[in-house]
Amino acid sequence: MYSKQPNSKASTQLAHVKIGIDKGTLRLQFSSKISKQFYNKKQFYKGLGRSDTPDNRQWAEGIARRIQEDIDYQNGANFDPSLAKYLDIKPVLATVTQLPTAKPLPKLGELWEEFANWKLSTGDIEQTTYKNVYLRTYTNLLKAYRDKPLNSETVNEMTKNFLAKQKNRTNIKSLLGILSEMCQRAINQKLLTEDYFAEVKDTYKTPKKSKQLSEVEDYKSYTLEERDLIIEHMRSHKRNTVSHMADLVEFLFLTGCRHGEAFALKWKNIDFDRGWIIFKESYDSSTKITKGTKTDVDRLFKMQGMNRLINLLKRLYGDGKESSDLVFKSHTGKQVNTSILDASWRESSYVKNGKTYRYPGTVTELDNEGKLQYLKPYSTRHTFISIQANNGADLKLLADSCGNSVDVIIEYYLDTNRNATLKDI
């Protein structure tokens, strides 16, 4: 760090604003009076996103002087609390070559598109993450600001809008961190002078769930009896498109694998002699891309002693299949995807000649009949892990087989004996 002042938290002192340092980065620090008057805070800080060097300090002190002048004029009549009019000032160095008019600030959309493509090209994100998350979820959140210059005014508007949202808060929290990373890259490219999201990414909060609520909302599972009821009801269903999915659903319930792993599974990945399945690929239904597993690890699933699963696969194998054939296909012979599975699980509909046709899926029908509670299709995985974990399965083996961790299984899937007491030792 450049600065050698005895007090590393502050340096140049003005009446109401001073230049301070936080973890080697310059920031503006306002007096208690100004913090309360304009920001309703006891102490307001604004990070400048630049390290403490002589040139950056000169730039920061220029900003502080302009702010002080506006604060002094008629009790702050000219002061801009958003700080946009001050932070858009470019660093002016002592060389003549630095004096020409600075280029306009880049638009948020331009920076975002370049950054997302760069993340993809470096392999930092997968193609599926790029398409599903960056180009859809995040880009949709940024849609209203893509044509605006990236400055304090734009970021303040975004932040106000994000804080008012009650949905997508987890995605927004992640996006703010990524936008901060984008700013850091733009600073290195000399396109920006400040990380506008450095502060808000740390202060933006998402609602937290208790362990009990997480278990209820996110990790619901079926009992053995409910599981078998779903499989049998699907297998005997009058609609062929539904009954055809019974084998896939049974496999999902009996292995706990992720759905994309079952969609991509081929016969060459199953060894009946050794008694195992190797999950090494996953099919993403939205992008139609087959890639590695979620953890990028080829996962061994041991079938020894699991007679129901072995018999299911042997029946499907019949007199033999090509090693490159998919184990599960739709009733028309195509690759199974999330939409096809969902249509057999829950209510689906389509419009023809202006009329809407609705088809309740297996689990929706059973829920309507009061035989069980509707849970999402991914409950197949939660059901398998919960049943295994609570019936004495080796947790390390279970975690390895499902591509999970022992800690996660203990935290979310293993029932707690609420009557247990400590031993008298």
Instruction: Look at the chain and report how many structural domains it folds into.
Output: 3
Indicate the SS3 state at residue 275. Answer: coil
- Could you tell me which residue, 371 or 106, shows the higher pLDDT? 371
**Structure confidence at residue 424 (pLDDT):** 57
Domain boundary, last residue among 98, 126, 148: 98
Percent share of the chain, pLDDT over 70: 87
Please check whether residues 232 and 355 belong to one and the same domain.
Answer: yes
Q: What is the pLDDT of residues 158-186, one digit of tens each?
A: 988 888 887 888 889 999 999 999 999 89
pLDDT surpasses 90 at 52: no
Q: Choose among 352, 270, 355, 363: nearest CA to 310.
A: 270
The average confidence (pLDDT) of the chain is: 84
pLDDT surpasses 50 at 352: yes
Q: What is the pLDDT of residues 203-215, one digit of tens each?
A: 887 766 554 444 4
Range name among 212-216, 319-323, 383-387 with the lowest pLDDT average? 212-216
Angstrom distances, CA of residue 255 to CA of 28, 117, 210, 336, 346: 56, 36, 28, 17, 21
> Quick one: tokens of 349?
């509909």
Whichever domain contains 369, its CATH number is 1.10.443
Which position has the token pair 């099919």? 283
pLDDT surpasses 90 at 337: yes
3-state helix, strand and coil shares in percent for the chain, rounded to the nearest 5: 50, 15, 40
Average pLDDT over residues 259-268: 96
Percent share of the chain, pLDDT over 90: 40
User: Cα dihedral sign for 262, 248, 258, 170?
Assistant: positive
Q: Choose among 14, 166, 220, 192: nearest CA to 91.
A: 192
Please check whether residues 333 and 397 belong to one and the same domain.
Answer: yes
pLDDT surpasses 90 at 92: no
Domain boundary, last residue among 162, 181, 203: 203
Which position has the token pair 């808060």? 169
**Confidence bin at 72 (pLDDT 50/70/90):** confident
Indicate the SS3 state at residue 277. Answer: strand
Please check whether residues 134 and 17 belong to one and the same domain.
Answer: no
In a domain, 419, yes or no: no
Angstrom distances, CA of residue 311 to CA of 72, 251, 273, 371: 83, 11, 13, 28
Please check whether residues 78 and 115 belong to one and the same domain.
Answer: no
**Structure confidence at residue 55 (pLDDT):** 79
pLDDT surpasses 80 at 75: no
Please check whether residues 139 and 195 belong to one and the same domain.
Answer: yes
- Could you tell me which residue, 112 or 410, shows the higher pLDDT? 112
pLDDT surpasses 50 at 254: yes
Give the domain extent around 371: 217-259+323-413
In a domain, 392, yes or no: yes
Strand partners of residue 278: 300
Please check whether residues 240 and 355 belong to one and the same domain.
Answer: yes
Please check whether residues 197 and 253 belong to one and the same domain.
Answer: no
Amino acid at 49: G
Q: CA 42, CA 111: separation in Å to the nearest integer? A: 35
pLDDT surpasses 70 at 98: no
Pairing of strands 45-51, 25-30: antiparallel
Q: Choose among 404, 407, 409: nearest CA to 391.
A: 409
Please check whether residues 380 and 250 belong to one and the same domain.
Answer: yes
Whichever domain contains 190, its CATH number is 1.10.150
pLDDT surpasses 60 at 232: yes
**Structure confidence at residue 220 (pLDDT):** 79
**Confidence bin at 248 (pLDDT 50/70/90):** very high
List the Cα angle 341/397/253 in 5-degree steps.
20
Please check whether residues 34 and 171 belong to one and the same domain.
Answer: no
Q: What is the pLDDT of residues 132-161, one digit of tens each?
A: 899 889 999 999 999 999 988 899 899 888
Burial class (CB in 10 A: 0-12, 13-18, 19+), 409: buried
**Structure confidence at residue 262 (pLDDT):** 97
